[in-house]
Structure 1
Amino acid sequence: MRLDKFLAHHLGISRSLANKALKAEMVTVNGQIIKAGAYQLANDDKVTYRDNDIIPVMEKRYFMLHKPQGYVCSTDDPDHATILYFIDEPMAEKLHAAGRLDMDTTGLVLLTDDGQWSHRITSPKHHCQKEYHVTVTAPLDESLVATFAAGIQLKGEKQLTKPAKLIIVDEYHAQLIISEGRYHQVKRMFAAVGNHVQSLHRHRIGNLILDVDEGEYRRLTENEIKSFLS
């Protein structure tokens, strides 16, 4: 991440004050004086301010990201671009997705380094709702509303899916609300009724609605974080 942002975050000062400290030659990186706020830090760089090491104190972190197509939710993948491309935070590699999306699926991803919090979101016993906007290739019939509500038998699985709420918007578009997260579940549910998902977008997790532009992210508020613990 940028050196001026790192300094502002860990010293509790403004970005402008961080840049003044840099120009005054108060900051070194790996023993070298650095004056440029735009200097990009590596994860293992040693930063000092007035000859004192800056040791990051990492609090638990919680973010929402609007994931575009073409990125995987794994934070370490040698073959594909990952969602960490969009996250400009110290030690971003320590974050993980609380509920992944496929590479070609867009929408809301929650990122955190709090394993217990993410478990509350992903564990089926907590019944955390996820709302998806779905585009399919074949016309949707109103009878599917009852079919999804009754549970669907997925290929290769013994138990029906939990009741899901299907809202048909028009012939080829629907909203689907589910409370579990089986592998490729939404796509497999529509495949089980003879349809094919053309595009998929996650709009909501729990009470949290996606409100940032594609490729952007923001920190969650205290109330948003706590909403998953009630």
Structure 2
Amino acid sequence: MRLDKFLSTTLGITRKDAGKLLKEKRIEVNGETVKNGALKVTETCEVEFDGRPLRFDGPRYFMLNKPSGFVCSHVDDYNPTVFVLFDEVSPEKMHVAGRLDGDTTGLVLLTDDGQWSHRITSPRHYCEKVYYVELADPINEEVVEQFANGVQLRGEKELTRPAKLEILGDNEALITISEGKYHQVKRMFAAVGNKVVGLHREKIGDVELDEALEPGEYRQLTDEEIAAFM
């Protein structure tokens, strides 16, 4: 494919505008600035626009360290969405694979691969998620067994699936769940008479939040991380 056509397709601009970017020396191919729009590029080429990698049509996979106050949707009347944190081409084509509440922080996976995200979100796949929880009141040891047996959430007909609770301190714990009911972790603790005051997702399946990512930062998933859900 010609470079100018590739730029037009991936950036959603005209060939004329692609030519302007080339003249302004804002395009690099395999580490070298390129001004020739007729240059042939293939899927093995590394094309960058202002230092941002551009990819041929194909699925994209990212992890984000979600800060508090951002919602996992494309449109919200009151809060900023996680997609404003992405400096990528066509972020509106991506979706969140496993949402978090606005005040919950931590690991979020985003992609434009629907089948891949279905393996994470579908209840049939029992994909485990690990959360660090801060609570208003001390945790009773009996809650460990209660969660292991499943608890009755208000408005639900069936008990939750068995969950693993690891008490870290008087008011903090790790909880591992394999389903994603609405506000589930908060509702589980409410069901045993406690209140969640802080919630942070650390892990989805075998993929852990990269500790190098500051709140609001993201990176592409590695091939191994992508394959973990295949």
Band of TM-score, shorter chain: 0.7 to 0.9
Which whole-Å deviations, capped at 9, do the CAs of 1:11-59 have from their partners, x for residues lacking one?
A: 7xxxxxxxxxxxxxxx842786762749xxxxxxxxx96379x997321
Is 1:35 matched with 2:24?
A: yes
Match of 2:37 in 1: 50
Report deviation, 1:76.
2.5
Corresponding residue for residue 44 of structure 1: none
Runs of 4+ in 1 over 4 A off after TM superposition: 30-34
Name the aligned partner's letter for residue 199 of structure 2: L
1:37-186 → structure 2 map (5 Å cutoff): 37=26, 50=37, 57-186=56-185
Tell me how far apart the structure 2 counterparts of residues 228 and 117 of structure 1 sit (CA, whole Å).
7
Segments of structure 1 that go 5 or more residues without pairing to the other structure are 1-6, 12-26, 39-47
Name the SS of the counterpart of 1:146 in structure 2: helix
Distance 1:65 1:91 in 2: 17
Is the 2:163–2:178 contact (alpha carbons within 8 Å) kept by the matching residues of 1?
yes
CA shift, 1:87, in A, is: 1.0
Structure 1 vs Structure 2: percent identity of aligned residues?
54
8 Å contact from structure 1 (residues 149, 165) kept in 2: yes
CA deviation digits over 1:106-149, x for unaligned, max 9?
A: 00000000111111001111010000000000110111100000
Structure 2, gaps ≥5 residues long? 8-14, 28-34, 42-53
Counterparts of 1:74 and 1:58 in 2: how far apart (Å)? 23
TM-score normalised by the chain length of structure 1: 0.78
Q: Which residue of 1 aligns with 2:221?
A: 220
Query: C-alpha distance in 1, partners of 2:187/2:36?
Result: 54
Query: Contact between 2:128 and 2:176, CA under 8 Å: does it hold in 1?
Result: yes
CA distance in 1, matches of 2:106, 2:129: 11
**Cα RMSD (Å) of the superposition?**
2.6
